[in-house]
Structure 1
Amino acid sequence: MTSKSTAVVSLPTLTQTGATIALQAASLYASEHGLPMSIAIVDAHTHLLSFTRQDSAKLSSIETAMSMATTSASNRLPTSALSDTHTAPPSLFSSSQRLCTIPGGLPILSPTGALLGAIGCSTGTSLQGEDAAAAGRDAVLAFIKRETEDEERRIEEEREKVLRLWKEKEGEVESLRDELDYERYGSGKRRKTSSVGLGGSAGLSAGGAGPHTPPEEGEIGGFLEPSFVGEVRVGGF
């Protein structure tokens, strides 16, 4: 079967909520370690979502943090992986775009490997910047995991509710069907009894009709439709 082509595709990306979570976690790490930082979060398209420059952070760290995040998102790699000139793409050295090979920028990838965005943290040592970025990245990924688990749990609960309701309604429908069948067919409804199977007439009237009484429990499934079994006449087998 040929798959249907499309001219538009929807890509996952960080939202403002996700960016705020990452920013808060990275800021907390920096504060706890006494490292005033500039922290930037970009989405999957390298557009800036959230930024902060903590008190006393270097002015030069503003541009560096945003360049870290942009570079990491553009290449789907940590900026530390691009610090080696042998692995960095030539564009890093020939382009005037916002690119940076200083460690401190990390991509934010979904559990399936899709690029969601990136975070850049500047000031302090390279290791400290990368650790702060990792704190922000891990916080938003943990939030995404909780969201996914909550949604799966909600879907399962809804499914169980639907199944319970279906079973309840199924019982009501069966009961109503039995009542309608009896009202519709009345004495014309045949019941499968041992006397019929033996050719007797204990369960049938002279005209072949069943008694004008509701079926006993367990006998509902024993009714036979004339359209399926034909006419039944006493002594006419």
Structure 2
Amino acid sequence: MTPTAAATASLPTLTQNGARIALQAAEQYALEIGVPMSIAVVDAHTHLLSFTRMDGAKITSINTAMDMAFTAAGNRIPTSAYHETSWPGSATSGIGNTISGRFTTLGGGVPILSGTGDILGAIGCSTGTSMQDEAAAKAGCDAVLALIAKEKKEEIRRINDERAAVLKLWKEKEEEVGSLRDELEERDRGSKRIRLDGGRSGSVSVSGSSRGLGRRGSAIGGAAPDTPPEEGEIHPSFIGEVAVGRY
């Protein structure tokens, strides 16, 4: 039977908390270099998650920052990668006019990629030079990736702890089952010994006044023999009691 492909797919993406971490780190970098910026963070689907315009940032940087994040997430590469190849006459000349003008070739947009290369989102920073904007965006990207790595380690540790707890419980239960099995086997062996001893005794024991052995043979369920057995006629080589009747 030919396997069928899944009809849906689940894609990893930044959460609001991840976007907040990225934005705060980029903002801190902008403060450190003394260049106030507009900062935008989008998810894996290029939709805006978080935005801030720092005091003193250019008014025109608002849409530019969002377009940077949009372009970086949509193409999974920094926007600066298009800067040198988008001049008139180049292979990508005019690319900035696509997607209703939202595609930008200005440096400052950086994609946020997982360790396996999946797009998680992107961050765009605008107001400074292309190098300043991209450095701020990279600071935000690095911060959220560090958080993701920390969360992954914690998840692995949690899984290992749960696995260790399950294995410990399994071992304890296995020991309990083994102890119970040994106990049941010992009881079973004891029962077999009792049945064996009882069977031997019952099969060879002759007791009671109604039974006897004598010179003239044996009497079972009848009267005892008229004369007592003579010496040597009884050879009790079995387990149990031998009753020789009346004499």
Equivalent-residue separation in structure 2 for 1:60 and 1:28 (angstroms): 21
Report % sequence identity.
Answer: 61
> Counterparts of 1:89 and 1:174 in 2: how far apart (Å)?
77
1:108 alignment counterpart: 112
CA shift for structure 1 position 32: 1.1
RMSD over aligned CA atoms reads 2.3
* TM-score after normalising by structure 1: 0.76
Describe how 1:207-218 pairs up with structure 2 within 5 A: 207=199
Please give the per-residue CA displacement for 1:73-129, whole angstroms capped at 9, x wherever unaligned. Answer: 111111100112135376533441422111000011000000011100001111110
Could you tell me how far apart the structure 2 residues matched to 1:89 and 1:175 are?
Answer: 79
My pick for the range that moved more, 80-89 or 24-33, is: 80-89
Distance in 2, matches of 1:33 and 1:2, equals 59
Counterpart contact for 1:182–1:189, Cα < 8 Å = no
Instruction: Provide closer, same or farther for how the CA distance between residues 149 and 2 of structure 1 changes in structure 2, counting only shifts above 3 A.
Output: farther
Q: Report what 1:9 is aligned to.
A: 9
Q: Secondary structure at the match of 2:102?
A: coil
* Aligned with residue 135 of structure 1, among 127, 134, 139: 139
Q: What CA deviation, in whole Å up to 9, does each residue of 1:17-60 have, x standing for no partner?
A: 11011001000000111110000000111100000000111100
Q: Report if the CA contact (8 A) 1:71-1:99 is conserved.
A: yes
Partner of 1:41: 41
**Normalized against structure 2, the TM-score is what?**
0.73
Q: Greater CA deviation, 5-14 or 129-138?
A: 5-14
2-side partners of 1:102 and 1:189: how far apart? Answer: 93
Task: Give the unaligned 5+ runs of structure 2.
Answer: 201-247
Structure-2 residue corresponding to 1:80: 80
Structure 1 pair 87–147 and aligned structure 2 pair: CA distance change class (3 A): farther
Does the Cα contact within 8 Å between 2:96 and 2:102 map onto a contact in 1?
no
Q: How does 1:79-228 map to 2 (within 5 A)?
A: 79-83=79-83, 84-85=85-86, 86=90, 88=92, 91-184=95-188, 186-188=190-192, 205=197, 207=199
User: Cα gap change, 1:88/1:21 in structure 2, threshold over 3 Å: closer, same or farther?
Assistant: farther
1:173 shift after superposition: 1.0
Structure 1: segments with no counterpart, 5+ residues: 191-203, 209-237
Distance 1:131 1:75 in 2: 19
Q: 1:185, 1:88 → 2: CA distance? A: 88
1:67 is aligned to 2:67: yes
Secondary structure in 1 aligned to 2:100?
coil
Closer/same/farther in 2, CA of residues 187 and 65 from structure 1, 3 Å limit: same
- The letter for the 2-side match of 1:175 is S
Residues 150-196 of structure 1: CA deviation (Å, up to 9, x unaligned): 10111111111111111111111111122233334533169xxxxxx
Q: Secondary structure at the match of 1:39?
A: strand
- The answer to whether the 8 Å contact 1:68/1:120 transfers is yes
